Chains A and B, each alone.
Chain A
Amino acid sequence: MTSSYGSYRPLRFSPERGPLARALAKDAPLRRLDWIMVLAALALSLGSSMLVWSATRGRDSLTHGDPQYFLYRHLTNLMIGLVLCGLVVAIGHHRIRASVPVLYGMALLMLVAVLSPIGSTINGAHSWIQFGGGFSVQPAEFAKLAIVLGMAMVLASRVDSGEREMPGDRSVVQALMLAGLPICIVLLMPDLGSVMVMAVIIMGILLSSGAPNRWVFGLIVTGGAGAVAIWKLGVLSKYQIDRFAAFANPALDPAGVGYNTAQARIAIGSGGLTGKGLFHGTQTIGQFVPEQQTDFVFSVAGEELGFVGGWPSSRWSA
């Protein structure tokens, strides 16, 4: 035995490897992570916490007098996110795939809950569930994940089992129905912004799943027609139309409908090449841009960090 094998020792599965070695093993979740993406996301999250902090320091009506209120909140959210992220990595996508029906069902339940009296309205969209302590969730965000997971499960099942090279019409129809249900609920809220994001998600999934071209183009045409129909049928409320109008025409009514975009442009434009420095943006300090801590947070980056700072942050998001 000894001689025939000589000094050769077959490498064998070794459950005795230390925890560090295990964590760093080639197939370990840590090594398989897309670290560039993780770090970019982390940097963006931290950076945007600063920007939100800058935007909210002086907004006493929002911060209840504590200038760091939003910073702490953001960091807390970030930690929660990191924990969730770690959990997902630890569980692994195979096990998650198995529980997709459950997750999808939970997301749907939450969406329905929003429509019930539990939900609350913020900025005209009845799409929030508020918990105590100032925390609130927007179930539409979970619905997006549910759509991704649900569609992926349906579209990949036949392909992964080797039955087909690409998803067939039946799979695509099933997947679209899976996505359609939450979209319908979100439309009832109505949260048009989320619907638009979901439509793009569906598009991306179909594209990357290798679904037939006719479905992809068909969906584009349907989306366009839907948009025209929504516009023409007057389903949109006034403020939604105004938002589109102000977006399309920057010079429109700078004191009224166009105020928000005009002020955002002034803030971003006045940042120049290098910006005014974090916490030194005059427009941010003067609170000229409404909703600067939410949808218009990029105007803080534009004003205080300038082209040099704003460009990478948009790059990083990519």
Chain B
Amino acid sequence: MSNIPETGRTRRVTIRLVVLQILVLSLLATLGGRLWYLQIRNGSEYTAKASSNHIREVVDPAVRGEILDANGKVLAGNQTKLVVSVSRTSLLQQKDHGKAALTRLAQVLGMNTKDVQDKVRLCDAKTPQPCWNGSPYQPIPVTDQATTQQALQIMERREDFPGITAQPTALRQYPAPDGANAAQLLGYLSPVTDDEVTKSAAKSGKDKYLPSDQIGRAGLESVYDNDLRGATGVTKLEVDNLGRVIGNAGGTPAEPGNNVVTSIDSRVQKVVEDNLVKAMADARTQFDKSTNQNYVADSGAALVMDVHTGRIIAMASAPTYDPNLWVGGISAKDYQNLTSQDTNYPLLNRVIQGQSAPGSTFKVVSTSAAVQAGYSLDGHYPCPQSLTIGGREFKNFEGEQFGDISLEKALEISCDTVFYGLAYDQWMKDGGIKPKSDPADWFYKTAHQFGLGAKTGIDLPSEVTGRVPDRQWKQTFYDANKDSWCKQAAGGGTDFATQIARENCVDGNVMRAGDSVNYAIGQGDTLVTPIQMARIYAALANGGTLYRPTIAKAIVTPSGQLVRDIAPHEDGKLPDDQKTLQYIDQATAGVITAGTAAWKFSGWPQDKIQLHAKTGTAEVYGKQTTSWLTTYSKDYAVVMTISQGGTGSGGSGDAIRKIYQALYGVDDKGAIDNGKALLPTPQTALPKFNPDGTAILQQAAYVSQAPAPASSMPGADLLAVEPSGASSRFTNGKGRA
């Protein structure tokens, strides 16, 4: 045929083909290299991207632990409500994007179709509330108020309600066992903020918040949040490119939170709450001569403490509110009500956040200070009508005079001039207006030893410290206010405030005689909280130990097994020796039998149940007097204070007596009936639990015998909603879902 080889290849063609082959092979090598780069070198990066592509996490909320009272009754629990939720992913798969299904749902629920649609839309910058700002893969709750009938309609006609479920879901509830409100004590929950979620992102386990979490914001809910909050479960769903669920990729189940057992006795709590409200209502019927109007009694606080452990048995703050307002998100109107001046801030727990001058209840501190300063308990000290110190006349409260009396008598009848004299004497010894470089300051030192001017460390958030107006505080306060005082003084006014400012501008940092003597009777710049006073009087009762006040006794699992005990903690000892303590014991008992509180405790079986008390009537500049009554028995310290409530015994005497009557089963005439006693001795054991975690209750449900408040109170107290209706089912303590 030809001279060309059969392959048809000339040398030139062969070379070209070799070049072509090399070219193709190198292209292939490039492809291979790229494949290696993608799959081997960066394989893990793409694996992570792939899983974020196709794995969606659906949060399975954990049931929050309960807060139980000392008998296991549920103070804060969970209530099962029928929550109707809508799955967006399922809606989007429907031809009309679920419009028909939502319309049917609105009909069944008796809601407006548009409202339902708004609730299930996703929030973004342009979408106003209501909208859903959680994960679009999370079922979106439409209502938690569905009736059983509505739920059945939805669940039985699955084909009419694709992607819509009606399921029992646990919601927080404060069932108020025995009618005990304890709102400020329990606190409340609210959803985590975006900020908190971002900040906790790096953490793991319970410390990592999920956008669906609710966390405790106040009270016990806040302090024991980590115990109460369970571990949220996560279900990992595999989804396709349109977000349709195509499989399950495992996950972790939700773990319920632990329960907190408190030392609160809901029955005593109810008694204390009722009597505080009653005392305030009664005070408003009393006429105050110095202001020419009835007492305002704007707020109050009361508590009962176990003197042997520092545990709180009851704690009430007025005005109060219904903690259930917070459940399912508080409305803007309610929130405004809770935080406004008109309602006098019912969110405040005035037992630990309300501070005022202690008045004469401070005199037990002054007595101890006098003993430490070297004054004899057997000595007698003058109690004249008034003392003139530093050009000012310091009078007894009602101008009475008793001659030379013992310290015991001075406490009993609350003679101010005795303590004025002692404090003045000490002030002079410390150098008077030109203080020594190292003053003894017994009266101030002793107050610090009694735990004043510092937090007690109770297991509640936002406790305040109160104030001991010692030299150091004087200086700090002067440094902070000097400029404004001097400015006011330079204005040349002649009114009282400007005169004070002028004095303060010159030597406001110097402890003056007037400051010192005023301080000795618990007036002036001294500030204490009810919890501090209760701790002091509990220490007087137990032989001198200052316990750290606690509310929680133990953490138990949902089925009742002990997780950890919260043991009583000694924070220190009173500086008094046993003799001084006995002396004060005797004097404070005398207050009940013959002293300032005797008129409120006539007929009390003092020989069987010895009570001790100290009254206080603290003057507040520009306001009516603060009523203080600090008392203790062998086992309990009971303290009540009412702002603008009159005298100590007049404002709180009846209420405190009622509280002791309930505790010990004493009737109005003084007869003791142990059967009626709520708590003749403090409870030490933890409640026993059934296998399902509900408590085995020892006693029958308590029915409050306290009378209703005498008059309906204006403004603030409208918020003091008595929990009713739903709560009645929980009075046997079985509030569990």
Contacts and interface: CB of A to CB of B under 8 A. Distances in A.
Contacts of B24: 318
B2 A162 contact: yes
A266 B46 contact: yes
A119 interface: no
Contacts of B53: 263, 266, 282-283, 286, 288
Contacts, number: 117
Interface in B222-254: 238-242, 246-247
A209 interface: yes
Contact of A310 (B10, B25, B35, B50): B35
> A interface, how many residues as a size bin?
35 or more
Contacts of A270: 43, 46-47, 49-51
B240 A286 contact: yes
A302 B38 contact: yes
Interface in B140-180: none
Nearest to A267: B50
B35 A162 contact: no
A268 B39 contact: yes
A180 interface: no
B12 A311 contact: no
A204 B20 contact: yes
B64 to A, nearest CB: 35
Interface string A257-277: 000000101111111110000
A162 B4 CA distance: 8
Contact of A265 (B17, B31, B46): B46
A11 B35 CA distance: 57
A219 B241 CA distance: 44
B32 A311 contact: yes
A208 B240 contact: no
Determine which residue in B12, B24, B38, B39 has the highest number of CB atoms from chain A within 10 A of its CB, and name it: B39
Interface in A113-145: none
B20 A159 contact: no
B36 to A, nearest CB: 7
B285 to A, nearest CB: 72
Contacts of A315: 28, 32
Nearest to B48: A270
B290 interface: no
A287 B241 contact: yes
B202 interface: no
A209 B16 CA distance: 10
Contacts of B36: 307
A46 interface: no
Determine which residue in B38, B44, B51, B241 has the highest number of CB atoms from chain A within 10 A of its CB, and name it: B38
A285 B240 CA distance: 7
Interface string B1-40: 1111000101011001100100011001001100110111
Nearest to B34: A268
Determine which residue in B24, B54, B246 has the highest number of CB atoms from chain A within 10 A of its CB, and name it: B54
A285 B246 contact: yes
Contacts of A306: 39
B93 interface: no
A159 B3 CA distance: 10
Contacts of A268: 35, 38-39, 46
A102 interface: no
B42 interface: yes
B291 to A, nearest CB: 71
A9 to B, nearest CB: 30
Contacts of A271: 39, 43
Interface in A55-101: 58
B271 to A, nearest CB: 63
A28 to B, nearest CB: 17
A208 B43 contact: no
A283 to B, nearest CB: 5
B46 A286 contact: no
B570 interface: no
B342 interface: no
A192 interface: no
Contacts of B40: 272-273, 307
A166 interface: yes
A283 B54 contact: yes
A282 B35 contact: no
Given A208-B13, A287-B241, A282 B50 contact: yes
B35 A318 contact: no
B45 interface: yes
Given A210-B10, A269-B47, A282 B54 contact: yes
Given A159-B4, A166-B12, A311-B32, A283 B50 contact: yes
A174 interface: no
Contacts of A285: 54, 238, 240, 246-247
Contact of B8 (A58, A159, A207, A288): A159
B10 A286 contact: no
Nearest to A216: B16
Given A269-B46, A286-B239, A307 B54 contact: no
Contacts of A156: 8
A253 interface: no
A285 B28 CA distance: 28
Contact of B45 (A269, A288, A310, A318): A269
A169 interface: no
Determine which residue in B1, B32, B35 has the highest number of CB atoms from chain A within 10 A of its CB, and name it: B35
Interface string A137-165: 00000000000000000001001111001
Contacts of B49: 266, 269-270
Contacts of B32: 311, 314-315
B37 to A, nearest CB: 9
A37 to B, nearest CB: 14
Contact of A311 (B13, B25, B35): B35
A288 B25 CA distance: 31
B28 A282 contact: no
Given A283-B50, A286-B54, A273 B39 contact: yes
A282 B13 contact: no
Contacts of B13: 166, 208-210
Contacts of B242: 287
Contacts of B3: 162
A228 B44 CA distance: 39
A207 B8 CA distance: 13
Contacts of A272: 39-40, 43-44, 47
Interface string B506-549: 00000000000000000000000000000000000000000000
A282 B238 contact: yes
Contact of B2 (A160, A210, A288): A160
Given A286-B246, A302-B38, A310-B35, A318 B4 contact: no
26 contacts: A58-B246, A156-B8, A160-B8, A161-B2, A162-B1, A162-B2, A165-B4, A165-B10, A166-B13, A207-B16, A207-B20, A208-B17, A210-B13, A210-B16, A263-B53, A266-B49, A268-B35, A268-B38, A268-B39, A268-B46, A270-B49, A271-B39, A283-B50, A286-B239, A307-B39, A311-B32
The 5 closest A-B pairs by CB, nearest first: A269-B46, A270-B50, A286-B240, A272-B43, A162-B2
Interface of B: 1-4, 8, 10, 12-13, 16-17, 20, 24-25, 28, 31-32, 35-36, 38-40, 42-47, 49-51, 53-54, 238-242, 246-247
Interface of A: 58, 156, 159-162, 165-166, 204, 207-210, 263, 265-273, 282-283, 285-288, 302, 306-307, 310-311, 314-315, 318
Given A160-B4, A270-B49, 20 more contacts: A156-B8, A204-B20, A207-B17, A208-B20, A265-B46, A266-B49, A266-B53, A268-B35, A269-B38, A269-B42, A269-B45, A269-B46, A270-B51, A272-B39, A282-B51, A282-B238, A302-B39, A307-B35, A311-B35, A318-B28
